[in-house]
Structures are given as C-alpha cells and as structure tokens.
Amino acid sequence: MKAPSSAPKKSWFQPAPTEAERAEQRQARAKLRIGIPRVLNIWSTHQFWFGFLEALGIDPRRIEFSSDTSDEQSRTYAKGRGTVDCCYPVKCISGHYGELLARSKRKIDILFSPMIHSVPSYLDGHVDASLTCPRVMAASENIKAGFIKERDAFAEARVLHVTPFVSLADPPVVPKQLYEGMQDAFPGLTLAETTHAVEVGYRTLNAYNQRLRAKAREILEWCAREQRPCILVLARPYHMDPGIGHEIEVDLQAHGYPVLWAQYLPTDPDLLHWMFDPDIAEGHIRSPLDIRDVWKSSYSGNTNEIMWGAKVAARMPWIAAVVRLASYECGMDQPTYSPVQSIVERSGTLFFSFQDLDSTKPAGSVKIRVETVAHYLAKQGADIIGKKLAASQPDCPLLKA
Ligand code: SF4
C-alpha cells in the first residue's frame, strides 16, 4: 500500500464509493501492518486497541508492538531524536518509534500512536477523574518532532504516523474522534464501522481487566486461607515495563511474596462493602470507589487509582507491605507521596518507596532494598495480618472461599 507521511484530505465533492469499491478498500485495509509503541497508557489500554483494530478488519497477527524499553533500544534507535521533555517514560518513546520504523522484516505501514486524553477508570464520584498526564497526551506529537526535524523519517520509511486524539473515559465521543483521526489512513473507513469497532474495543478491554481482577482475588483468597502476606505495588501501569519500573516487583516476587498491582485489584461488591461500609456509614465517602475523603484534586486517572489502592492496602489485612514506584521528575506523582505513605502507614502496613526511577538501574541498591522488604515481611508479616484483621469488620468474604 502507498504510504506517504500525510494522506490527502477527502473532498466534499467526491462521490460516495460504491459497494465494490468499499469491498476493495476493506481488502486493502486487511493487509495493513500496524506498529504500536509499547509505552505510557498503551500499557493499560492495549486490549482496547486489539479489539478495535481487529473489528476494523486488521489481522491481529499484523499488529506489532515495539519491545519493552531498554538501554539498547534507546542507544540504537533514539540517537539524535530525543525530546526536551525531562520525563523519563516520555523520553523513552523515541527508542520505540525508531525501533518500529526500522523494522525491515514484518515492515509496518502505520505507526499508530493515539493521543490518549483520558483513560477508563473503575473509580466513581469525581469530576475529570480520568484525565491523563498532559505529557502522556502530547507525547505522540512531541516525539514526532524528533523524527521530522532534519528529514522526514516517516516518509523515508514509507510509514504513516497516525495519532488520533481520543477520550477513552468518555465512550460516546470516541467513535467520532477515532473516525476523524483515522479515516485518511484506513481505506474506506465509515463512522458506523468505527462505532461498532469501539464497542468491541471496550468489551475486549473490560473482559481482560475482569480476568486480571479475578486473578487478584484468587491470590487474596489464597493469602487469607494460608494467612500469608502479599505486597501491593502502587505505581502507574507503565511501571510494569522492565525498562521503566526496573522489575522491582519481579525481584520481590522471587522472595515468595505474591505481588498485586493497584490497577487490577478486585472490585467485587462483597469485598468492597466489607472494606468500605463503615466509611460510607460515617459519611466520609458515597461509595466504595469514591476517594473524596483522601484526595480532592482529582486531576489524573492513574493518580486517583494510586490513592484508592492506598486505601485498599490500609484495609486489606493480607496486604502487609506496599511498594511505591515513581519516575524521576514526575510532577503528577510528587503531591501524592506524603498522603499515600501516611494512609498506608497509619494502618500498620509496611511502606517502601522507590522514587525517581530513571535510566540508571542501580542493581546493587535495588537488591539491598528488596532484601529489606523481604526481611521485614518475614519478621512482621504475621503480626501485621493479625492486627489488621482484628481491626476489620467481621466475616471477610475472602475467608469464605
Ligand atoms: S505521569 Fe509522571 S512519569 Fe508519567 S508521563 Fe506524566 S510526568 Fe511522566
């Protein structure tokens, strides 16, 4: 397929394509190979994009993600294309773009990098509860600048850079946003099929999130049955990228402690009411998924989920330790450091923080700190569980499993 760096806009005076032309356009679309940088909010929404693109006729085997972030990736593909942004997870995107553009085997036709303005959230009761960090939202265009400043690297690689603006937390506007942002790149695209594909995207994402929440509940039930401690990681979903979060949670798990991730905590009504009914009765919150008692600002979906995760950690007896991860110079996370720590520690739960993560992986110091977490859990885990259990409501649903 011909792939100039920017496709001509449609003219109002063009006749509508015939059915035969549409069928031909759909066939051409099915042959597209789509590259998606494995960065930022793609970590929590990739299943939406899988469902969406597949419903538009793209073979899932033709959807290519870049590799995890690594030094080698930056060294090889980001040279001279850096951005002035001091946020490390944003800086790393240049390596992902470069890697996708450089692919000669399984060469991509489209580099798909949506500007995600808001992300779906399970939380409830907040205005603008789901906005993304502005650096995240602008990243696609910010990074593009480095690839066109001397010569147009997209045109040279014959790859279209497609960056639809999308508010995923606001489903009714999404079909129009994606249709407008993608119609020039996807042959024969219609608003009706975009609308259908968006529905499939949400269904795929929800099913995936439910599977992960069910798994987290299973782990908590096991901990409750065996009276064993587990660890909760409070971070942004992209800290799961080994190059951004430095696999600290993997090292912790190697010590035999199950690790849960805040964004995938179970949200089953029985568990939520067991944890939060006293707060509702006292009028601190209106629902178990409301964080107005601890966080008034509510300007970022990921931040809100970190705050809620801290509240869950404080109430869940088997979460005996919390590990906080944050990236170097993250202005969004900075104001949350103290409230998160005090919510967690006030409940007697252990709190450890790995802040200012950047390109350097201080392996020695991470090892020592991971061993410290494991040491305190071995020493105090059972005691913490006992004290938190004594302070909880009776009849924990996890103990009935
Ligand atoms: S939330 Fe923080 S780490 Fe993430 S993109 Fe924004 S500034 Fe960077």
Tell whether the model's pLDDT for residue 85 goes beyond 50. Answer: yes
Q: How far apart are the CA of 110 and the centre of ligand 1, in A?
A: 26
Return d(Cα 93, Cα 24) in angstroms, integer. Answer: 35
pLDDT band (50, 70, 90) for residue 172 = very high
CB atoms under 10 Å from CB of 209, counted, come to: 17
Q: Are strands 165-167 and 259-261 parallel, antiparallel or unpaired?
A: unpaired
- Does residue 58 have its Cβ closer than 6 Å to ligand 1? no
Mean pLDDT within 91-97: 95
Q: What is the band of 2 on the pLDDT scale with cuts at 50, 70, 90?
A: very low
pLDDT-derived band at 14, boundaries 50, 70, 90: low
CB atoms within 10 A of CB 361: 15
Q: What percent of the chain has pLDDT over 70?
A: 95
Query: What is the three-class DSSP state of 272?
Result: helix
For residue 23, pLDDT over 80 is answered with yes
- Of ligand 1's listed atoms, the one at least distance from the Cα of 90 is 5
* Angstrom distance (rounded) from CA 29 to CA 187: 6
For 353-396, what is each residue's pLDDT tens digit?
998 888 887 778 889 999 999 999 999 999 999 999 999 999 99
Question: What's the pLDDT score for residue 205?
Answer: 98
Q: What percent of the chain has pLDDT over 90?
A: 76
Please tell me the residue having the least CA distance from ligand 1 atom 2: 330
Output the CA 132–ligand 1 centroid distance in Å.
9
**Per-residue confidence band for 13, with pLDDT thresholds at 50, 70 and 90:** low
Mean of the per-residue pLDDT values for the chain? 92
Q: Provide the pLDDT for residue 207.
A: 98
Looking at residues 38-63, what average pLDDT do you find? 96
- Is the pLDDT at 331 greater than 90, yes or no? no
Taking the C-alpha atoms of residue 284 and residue 358, their distance in angstroms, rounded to an integer, is 37
- Asked if residue 142 has its Cβ within 6 Å of ligand 1, the reply is no
Q: Does residue 7 register a pLDDT over 50?
A: no
| Residues 264, 156: Cα–Cα separation, whole Å | 41
Q: Is the CB–ligand 1 distance for residue 332 below 6 Å?
A: yes
Cβ 135 under 6 angstroms from ligand 1: yes
Exposure on the CB side of residue 98, measured as CA atoms within 13 A: 21
The protein residue with its alpha carbon nearest to ligand 1, atom 8, reads 87
Predicted TM-score (pTM) of this structure: 0.93
pLDDT classification of 9: cutoffs 50, 70, 90: low
Mutate to test the pocket of ligand 1, among 84, 327, 359 (most ligand atoms within 8 A of CB): 327
Shortest-distance Cα residue to atom 6 of ligand 1: 133
Structure tokens at 377: 């859990």
Fill in the DSSP letter of residue 239.
G
- Whether 136 is in the pocket of ligand 1, judged by its Cβ within 6 Å, is yes
Quick one: pLDDT at residue 364? 85
Nearest CA to ligand 1 atom 7: 330
Higher-confidence residue: 300 or 49?
A: 49
What is the whole-number distance in angstroms between the Cα of residue 331 and the centre of ligand 1?
7
Amino acid identity of residue 199, one-letter, is E
Q: Which long-range contacts (CB under 8 A, 24 or more apart) does 22-29 make?
A: 22/188, 24/188, 25/187, 25/188, 26/57, 26/187, 26/188, 28/1, 28/187, 28/188, 29/56, 29/57, 29/58, 29/186, 29/187, 29/188, 29/189
Work out the pLDDT band at 296, boundaries 50, 70, 90: confident
Indicate the SS3 state at residue 323. Answer: strand
Other CB atoms within 10 Å distance of the CB of residue 354: 22
Q: Does the CB atom of residue 90 touch ligand 1 within 6 A? A: yes
Report the nearest atom of ligand 1 relative to the CA of 85. 8
Give residue 92's pLDDT. 93
Q: Give the residue carrying structure tokens 């998160």.
A: 340
CA distance 55 to 57: 5
331 in ligand 1 pocket by Cβ < 6 Å?
yes
Probe ligand 1: pick from 86, 133, 329, 357, max atoms within 8 Å of CB?
Answer: 133
d(CA 355, CA 334): 9
Element at 368 (helix H, strand E): helix 363-391
Instruction: Dihedral sign for Cα 312, 314, 315, 316, please.
Output: positive
Counting from 1 in the atom list of ligand 1, the atom nearest the Cα of 238 is 4
383 Cα–ligand 1 center, Å: 36
Query: How much distance in Å is there from the Cα of 243 to the middle of ligand 1?
Result: 15
Mean pLDDT computed over 214-226: 98
Tell me what pLDDT residue 275 has: 98
Task: For Cα atoms 247, 46, 218, give the angle at the middle one, nearest 5 degrees.
Answer: 60
Structural contact between residues 321 and 356, judged by C-beta atoms closer than 8 angstroms: no
3-state DSSP helix/strand/coil % of the chain, to nearest 5: 50, 10, 35
133 lines ligand 1 (CB under 6 A): yes
Residue 388 pairs in a beta bridge with: none
Rg from Cα positions in the chain: 23
**Residue 6 pLDDT class (50, 70, 90 cuts):** very low
Six token digits for residue 260? 């849960």
The mean pLDDT of 146-167, rounded to a whole number, is 94
Tallying the residues shown for the chain, one arrives at 401
Smallest CA-to-CA distance from 310 within 355, 271, 347, 278 is with 347
Q: Is the CB of 285 under 6 A from ligand 1?
A: no
Q: Over 80: is that where the pLDDT of 11 sits?
A: no
The span from the CA of 146 to the CA of 136, in Å, is 16
Q: Where residue 125 falls among pLDDT bands split at 50, 70, 90? A: low
Looking from the CA of residue 331, the nearest atom of ligand 1 is 7
Q: How far is residue 223 CA from its own chain's centroid? A: 26
137 lines ligand 1 (CB under 6 A): no
